[in-house]
Amino acid sequence: MTINLDSEKFFNKTKINIKEKLEKADQKIINISLIVDKIPKNINELSEQLRIIADLRLPTLDQYTTIKQHCEICLLDINNKISKSNFEELESLSITNDNLKHIKQIILEDIGIEIDTDYKNIIEEMCTNILNLIKLKDNLENILEKLFLENYINFYKLTNIKIASKMLEIAGSFKRLVSMPASTIQLLGSEKSFFKALKTHKNTPKYGVLYNHPSMQSLSKRNKGRFARTIAAKISIALKSDFNKTEIYPELLKKLNNKLEQYKQNNLKK
Amino acid sequence: MNNLKSLIFKDNTYYTIDKISGKKRFWDPTRSKVCAALKKKINIFPIEEDSKILYLGVAEGYTISYISDIILKGIAIGVDISAHSMQKFYLISKKRGNLVPILEDANKPEKYKDLVDFKVDIIIQDVAQKNQVEILKKNSDVFLKEKGFVMLSLKTTAISQGKTSNIIEKQLQEFRKYFKIIDYKRLDPFEKKHIFVIGQKI
């Protein structure tokens, strides 16, 4: 028995559906944030490898600089733009005075080796690679911010790029995140400890991704759980208004800040 | 097993004959729950050469590609909700000829009811949801023919974090309301806390 099925009909419809689903803004955010998450690890690994050679020339330099400044100083050094008598370029790099003093001392003491062309090429290539990665990360974060401001402004204003994109990533799509209740949003990111607690009949966690919220740091341990509950409720409202394309974030932020002040002063109504 | 031409059992492993290249292809029981059930010696394997199959939760199409080797005269319809996995399954089904993709939620069969205008012989389900038996029932009401078979791979951790044997008992009780159970097997050691059930529509 053979079946006469018009399979082209299925293929066409599926093709349209796939494209429709994957071209949405929330999928774009999830994909970009997955890349942004992994870039710092690459930068750290590369800078560690750079230090193997760069430390021969300018030892202990990385203690007084960020990774970006370290690469910039290395590039200036191998191109002979800084010397014992010429610190002009170095001073334009916006390093704090205290650190600048230490760096100048390293250069003046002249304890490093003279670098030959092989080492020079390696340092130049690695430094430009690291600087490019840092630039890429900044660019991607700008794109994320633009996407959030265009599409999910209420959600973004209550949280930040890191938390918002992480939440979208865990939920899978914006539509699914919108349909979640506030209690689920509060625990997003703590699935492992949550299910462990259910299994062993112990206390459930108080917060997941929300622990990294900037306002959390100023609160006591007890109030952190309370604040997580409050902010999850507000995020839930914000998401629903984003779905309807309305702006209510000034009102929500005002309420949230009032509550935060109360938690800080510890004068809660019982 | 039903004298299937392209399913081979040799040295305690399962192979199929590839539809495209004609070579022997190894079927991995740790990646496919149907193969794991076969290796656990389940009583019945209802798939035949001219079967029409509805597969809920195809993902990237690993298991269904072996089923397409077996059903040389039949057809299999794959349903999944993930667009990214569906891209891979789309390419596989274009290559093989007897597979068709549908990108929809298996929980809402009314959405793809109009596309499939015939009754199927077998429904295979592997979706790992809380209401797995309910999803199977909904789909079998719409698509399954009289006395057709259902094959359900049940993930107990998707339902509750309680004791596995208790969950299985409860789920089988619910399953019995709509189908006659022919055989079921735990899938250890290939899949932990999974059970594979084969039933027949009453």
Size of interface A-B (CB pairs under 8 A): 47
Average the pLDDT over B161-173 and give the result. Answer: 92
pLDDT for res A88: 86
CA distance A187 to chain B (A): 17
Q: What is the pLDDT of residue A1?
A: 46
Ranges under pLDDT 70 in chain A: 1-4, 267-270
Count up the domains in chain A and report the number: 2
The predicted structure's pLDDT at residue A81: 87
Torsion of CA A28, A33, A36, A42, to 10 degrees: -110
Q: Tell me: do A258 and A162 sit in the same domain.
A: yes
Pairwise CA distance, residues A178 & A168, whole Å: 10
The verdict on a CB contact (< 8 Å) between B83 and A18 is yes
Q: What is residue A84's predicted lDDT score, i.e. its pLDDT?
A: 84
**Which of the listed residues A121, A143, A165 is the one where a domain comes to its end?**
A143
| Tokens matching residue B88 | 């891979």
Residues A21 and A137 in one domain: yes
Going by C-alpha positions, the residue among B122, B126, B124 that lies closest to residue B148 is B122
Q: What backbone phi and psi angles, to 5 degrees, belong to B63?
A: -65, -45
Residue B103 with chain A: CB contacts under 8 Å = 13-14, 17-18, 21
Query: Mind listing the pLDDT tens digit for each residue in B29-48?
Result: 999 999 999 999 998 999 99
What is the rounded average pLDDT of the residues B150-170?
A: 92
Would you state the pLDDT for residue A80?
Answer: 87
Do A255 and A184 lie in one domain? The reply is yes
On whether both A107 and A21 belong to a single domain, the answer is yes
User: Measured between beta carbons, which residues in chain A are less than 8 angstroms from residue B84?
Assistant: 22
Task: Give yes or no: residues A161 and A211 share one domain.
Answer: yes
Nearest CB among A11, A21, A198 relative to B161 is that of: A198
User: Per the CB < 8 Å rule, is A2 touching B73?
Assistant: yes
Q: How far is A12 from chain B (nearest CA, A)?
A: 10
A3 and B74 within 8 Å at the Cβ level: the answer is: yes
Q: Do A23 and A116 fall within a single domain?
A: yes
- Judge: B90–A11 Cβ closer than 8 Å, yes or no: yes
| Contact between chains at B73 and A10 (C-beta distance less than 8 A) | no
User: Which of A1, A2, A17 lies closest to B103 in CB terms?
Assistant: A17
- B87 contact residues in A (CB cutoff 8 A): 18, 22
Q: Read off the pLDDT of each residue in B16-21 and give the average, rounded to a whole number.
A: 90
Chain A: give the shortest CA distance to residue B126, in Å.
19
A14:B84 CB<8 A: no
Residues A157 and A255 in one domain: yes
Residue A226 belongs to some domain of the structure? yes
Q: Which residues of A touch B (CB under 8 A)?
A: 1-3, 5, 7, 9-11, 13-15, 17-18, 21-22, 195, 198-199
* Domain match, A232 and A159 both: yes
* A22–B84 CB contact, under 8 Å: yes
Task: Please report, for the domain that includes residue A209, its CATH number.
Answer: 1.10.246.90
Q: Are A24 and B90 contacting, i.e. CB atoms less than 8 angstroms apart?
A: no
Question: Which of A10, A21, A195 lies closest to B115 in CB terms?
Answer: A10
User: Does residue A136 share a domain with residue A19?
Assistant: yes
Tens-digit pLDDT profile for residues B126-146: 998 999 999 999 999 999 999
pLDDT in tens, B54-84: 999 999 999 999 999 999 889 999 999 999 9
Question: Is A223 domain-assigned?
Answer: yes
Please tell me the predicted confidence (pLDDT) of residue A270: 54
Q: Which residue of A has its CA nearest to B162?
A: A199
Asked if residue A195 belongs to a domain, the reply is: yes
Domain boundary, last residue among A105, A126, A143: A143
pLDDT digits (tens, 9 = 90+) for B83-106: 999 999 999 999 988 999 999 999
The answer to whether the Cβ–Cβ distance between B100 and A22 falls below 8 Å is: no
Contact B75 A5 (CB under 8 A): yes
At A47, which CATH number? 1.10.287.4070
Is A263 inside any structural domain?
yes
CB atoms within 10 A of CB A53: 16
Domain assignment present for A159: yes
Residue A127 included in any domain: yes
A2, part of any domain? no
- Percent of chain B exceeding pLDDT 70 equals 99
Contact A3 B52 (CB under 8 A): yes
Are A1 and B75 a contacting pair at CB < 8 A? no
Task: Give the pLDDT confidence score for residue A27 in this predicted structure.
Answer: 92
The three-state secondary structure class of B132 is: helix
Q: Are the beta carbons of A18 and B50 separated by less than 8 Å?
A: no
Q: Is A3 inside a domain boundary?
A: no
| Average of per-residue pLDDT values in chain B | 91
Say if the Cβ atoms of A10 and B161 lie within 8 Å: no
**Which of A94, A118, A143 is the endpoint of a domain?**
A143
- Residues with Cβ within 8 Å of residue B5, at least 6 apart in sequence: B17, B49, B72
Mean pLDDT over residues B4-14, rounded?
Answer: 89
B100, B104, B114, B167: best to mutate for the A interface, most A CBs within 10 A: B100
B93 vs A contacts (CB less than 8 Å): 11
Tell me: do A109 and A64 sit in the same domain.
yes
On whether both A116 and A157 belong to a single domain, the answer is no
What is the C-alpha separation between B103 and B81, in angstroms, rounded? 6
* Residue numbers of the domain that contains A105: 8-143
Residues A190, A128 within the same domain: no
